């Protein structure tokens, strides 16, 4: 369904994002087709009627072009905060691809987070943007494709995501894994964490950003518990007893899992924090700012 938007880049506070080094975030669609059972975008605070009802911001590319032309500070634009920029509809609408073309022309840095191997379609543009800075973080929560299909039913399975990392890496794109969320009693085990890290390293990932827990709040919690009841009978009661109404939920085993995570990353030579964009010549932006004031 088409909708209009007045603005397209959300300006994040400087240094507010410690995970990916973003300054701006952008969503070209509203809603997401991947249907992950734990998705935070279902939280009531976002006022989305249904996550699987997709709206295409049809004037977003014009707004983006105008916005980038007027920006004084070139800093990292993040795709994928409220939805996946490579959900299936992207094959048809190509909003992400066309936005990347604009971003490449204006020489802005980019970070993409996705669960889809469709990202490899845009390797040509990502290579161009890499002259400034491009990073792709592929989210992988479970090594097991069968469990993946239950947790993230309409996203490409884990093995396809690893293949995407291999292709990105071979093309010289800075890429890695976001290993989150880790869901209590489902994927929070040592074997899963180590298997993901070993395969990530084998595919050429340079970093893995991990978090041994998840978040749940009004809206996302009810949906998640309903899905647990369908897929893993009895588990939602265990969540209620263990976590009550908490927002931040760590795996009960999170201390051990973090130790395993850091030790394994060290063994495999994987960064646990991404390299963020740093302007090659920071004085350029600064000088321009002084003239504009
Ligand atoms: S891909 Fe991301 S935004 Fe889409 S459903 Fe899954 S968690 Fe939500």
Q: How far is CA 172 from CA 66, 209, 217, in A?
A: 30, 19, 39
Q: How far is CA 261 from CA 90, 179, 182, 290, 292, in A?
A: 33, 10, 12, 45, 46
Across 190-203, average pLDDT: 98
Across 119-134, average pLDDT: 98
Question: What is the SS3 assignment for 59?
Answer: coil
Q: At what angle do helices 235-243 and 220-231 cross, to 10 degrees?
A: 140
Q: What is the pLDDT of residue 280?
A: 62
Please choose from 29, 113, 118, 155 the residue to mutate so as to test ligand 1's pocket, defined by most ligand atoms within 8 A of CB.
155
Q: How many CA atoms lie within 13 A of 47 on its CB side?
A: 0
Closest C-alpha residue for ligand 1 atom 3: 83
Domain membership of residue 103 (yes or no) is yes
Measure 34 CA to ligand 1 centroid, in angstroms: 6
CATH code: domain of residue 168: 3.80.30.30
Measure 156 CA to ligand 1 centroid, in angstroms: 12
Q: What is the pLDDT of residue 279?
A: 73
Residue 59 has pLDDT above 60, yes or no: yes
Residue 135 has pLDDT above 50, yes or no: yes
Q: What is the pLDDT of residue 292?
A: 38
Question: What is the SS3 assignment for 248?
Answer: strand
Domain membership of residue 191 (yes or no) is yes
Q: What is the pLDDT of residue 1?
A: 87
Question: What is the tally of helices (H) and strands (E) in the chain?
Answer: 11, 12
Q: What is the pLDDT of residue 281?
A: 53
Q: What pLDDT digit, counting tens, does each position of 150-184 carry?
A: 999 999 999 999 999 999 999 999 999 999 999 99
Residue 291 has pLDDT above 50, yes or no: no
Closest CA to 205 of 271, 158, 253, 142: 271
How many domains is the chain partitioned into structurally? 1
The C-alpha torsion from 95 through 18 and 185 to 50, rounded to 10°, is -30
Measure 80 CA to ligand 1 centroid, in angstroms: 8
Specify the range with the lowest mean pLDDT, choosing from 8-12, 56-60, 148-152, 178-182: 8-12
Output DSSP code: residue 271: B
Domain membership of residue 250 (yes or no) is yes
- What kind and span of H or E run contains 208? strand 207-210
Quote the tokens at residue 207: 């970093």
Q: What is the pLDDT of residue 278?
A: 84
Residue 282 has pLDDT above 90, yes or no: no
Specify the range with the lowest mean pLDDT, choosing from 10-14, 77-81, 198-202: 10-14
Measure 195 CA to ligand 1 centroid, in angstroms: 23
Q: Give percent of the chain above pLDDT 90.
A: 88
Domain membership of residue 282 (yes or no) is no
Across 48-60, average pLDDT: 93
Across 104-132, average pLDDT: 98
Domain membership of residue 13 (yes or no) is yes
Closest C-alpha residue for ligand 1 atom 8: 39
Question: Predicted confidence band at 260 (pLDDT cuts at 50, 70, 90)?
Answer: very high
Distance CA 189, CA 212 (A): 10
Q: Give the chain's mean pLDDT.
A: 94
Domain membership of residue 9 (yes or no) is yes
Q: Ligand 1, closest atom to CA 115?
A: 1
Domain membership of residue 119 (yes or no) is yes
Question: Could you list the residue range(s) of the whole structural domain that residue 152 is in?
Answer: 2-268
Question: What is the SS3 assignment for 56?
Answer: strand
């Amino acid at each position: 369904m088409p909708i209009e938007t007045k603005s397209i880049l959300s300006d994040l506070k400087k240094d507010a994002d410690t995970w990916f080094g973003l300054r701006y975030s952008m969503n070209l669609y509203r809603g997401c087709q991947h249907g992950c059972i734990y998705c935070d975008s279902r939280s009531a605070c976002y006022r989305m009627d249904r996550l699987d009802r997709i709206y295409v911001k049809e004037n977003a590319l014009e707004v983006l072009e105008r916005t980038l032309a007027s920006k004084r500070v070139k800093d990292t634009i993040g795709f994928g905060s409220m939805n996946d920029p490579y959900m299936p509809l992207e094959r048809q609408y190509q909003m992400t691809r066309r936005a990347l073309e604009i971003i490449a022309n204006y020489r802005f840095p980019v970070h993409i987070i996705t669960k889809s191997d469709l990202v490899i379609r845009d390797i040509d543009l990502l290579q161009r943007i890499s002259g400034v800075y491009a990073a792709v973080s592929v989210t992988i929560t479970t090594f097991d494709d069968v469990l993946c299909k239950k947790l993230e039913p309409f996203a490409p399975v884990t093995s396809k995501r690893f293949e995407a990392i291999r292709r990105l890496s071979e093309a010289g794109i800075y890429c890695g894994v976001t290993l989150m969320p880790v869901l209590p009693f489902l994927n929070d085990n040592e074997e899963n964490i180590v298997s993901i890290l070993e395969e990530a390293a084998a595919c050429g990932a340079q970093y893995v950003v991990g978090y041994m827990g998840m978040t749940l709040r009004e809206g996302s919690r009810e949906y998640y518990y309903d899905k647990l009841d369908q897929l893993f009978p009895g588990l939602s009661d265990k969540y209620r007893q263990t976590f009550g109404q908490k927002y931040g939920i760590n795996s009960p085993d999170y201390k051990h899992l973090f130790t395993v995570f850091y030790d394994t990353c060290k063994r495999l030579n994987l960064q646990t924090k991404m390299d963020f964009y740093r302007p090659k010549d920071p004085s350029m932006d600064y000088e321009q700012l002084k003239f504009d004031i």
